[in-house]
Structure 1
Amino acid sequence: MLKVQEIRELIKLVDQSSIDEFVYEIDGSKIKMKKNGTVTVASMQPITPTTAPAAVQTIPVAAVTPAAPAVEVKQEDPKVETPTERDTTNLHKITSPMVGTFYASPTPDSDEYVKVGSNVSKDSIVCIVEAMKLFNEIEAEVNGEIVEVLVKNGQLVEYGQPLFLVKP
């Protein structure tokens, strides 16, 4: 008999392959899958001459395969500067030294360390990145002015991900 996890693996493999129909029989049990609009899964009861045929359940393919993500198109005012259009060649990026959660302030009810327009020095704390219950203070590493905050409070950040843009 196949385990539920093994059946799920088979469904994934059939779904990712180019075959349209898959039949698997072992010890009197039978699994049959079709990709032409539905997936058919037979129950895992052994078939003997004295028992009725196995019950068959039909599931729409949409229920098995994840839906494609919705695409949202925004028409923006051409005068508005977006982060991708901004010239960042003269700006210093403060990046995350680790994977974790970004916090803009030391506690939820206190003010943020820095905001856009704040002046920072090399040893100024600009945020906290929490990783595995350890709160790591991140320093600016450069003297200058915060031009842009690139992440939101509570957002997960990756190693090397830019957090702030600083005008030296």
Structure 2
Amino acid sequence: MLKVQEIRELIKLVDQSSIDEFVYENEGSKIKMKKSVTSVVTTVQPVVHTEVPAAQAVQAAPVQTAAPVTPVQEIKQEPVTEAPVQADTSNLHKITSPMVGTFYASPSPDADVYVKAGTKVSKDSIVCIVEAMKLFNEIEAEVNGEIVEVLAKDGQLVEYGQPLFLVKPE
């Protein structure tokens, strides 16, 4: 039987992944998770304008109306997300996650972070921890340089190959 924390981690992983449905069976227990696809429904009610020239209005001529229009029309629309403007990162080294897990910026909750933007690092400097299946894996910088940007947030679930840091190599 899975513990509550393990179920929470599974929920986070499924939520942040591209899969829509997940089923896990073990020792007579079954967990089924399914994402609900949300869409925004916008209703539009058309307005019919009838214009009468000033000359006709004075003469009290009959006003013609347009043909009846269906009053409500549904439009399905996906939520719009703006892509952030990104600087040129071609000359920067990306430190990526070697596994799926939880990103930790410090060795313990009450300790200072390993690195932040502006920190000088060497190849063997520890920059973070990625926890997977109760194993805490120290991630090294892989290159000498300066941390330009921290791309992951503390406690965030990260995917295999996801960039965690941008480093300006020396």
TM-score band (shorter)? Answer: 0.5 to 0.7
For residues 91-102 of structure 1, the aligned pairs below 5 Å read 91-102=92-103
Structure 1 position 68 matched with structure 2 position 69? no
How do residues 78-93 of structure 1 correspond to structure 2 at under 5 angstroms?
82=84, 84-93=85-94
Counterpart of 2:89, as a letter, is T
Runs of 5+ in structure 2 lacking a partner? Answer: 1-35, 41-77
Task: Measure the CA separation in 1 of the matches of 2:81 and 2:97.
Answer: 30
Report % sequence identity.
75
Higher relative CO (Cα under 8 Å, sequence separation at least 6) belongs to: 2
Distance in 2 (alpha carbons) for counterparts of 1:121 and 1:166: 11
Q: Scaled by the length of structure 2, what TM-score is found?
A: 0.53
Pair 1:95–1:73, CA change in 2 (3 A): closer
Partners of 1:139 and 1:117 in 2: CA distance: 16
RMSD: 2.0
Structure 1: segments with no counterpart, 5+ residues: 1-64, 77-81
CA–CA distance in 2 between the matches of 1:137 and 1:102? Answer: 10
Q: TM-score, normalised by structure 1?
A: 0.54
SS in 2 for 1:128: strand
Alignment size in residue pairs: 97
List per-residue Cα deviations over 1:112-144 (Å, max 9, x = no partner): 000000000000000000000000000000000
CA distance in 2, matches of 1:91, 1:165: 6
Work out the CA distance in 2 between the residues paired with 1:66 and 1:160: 26
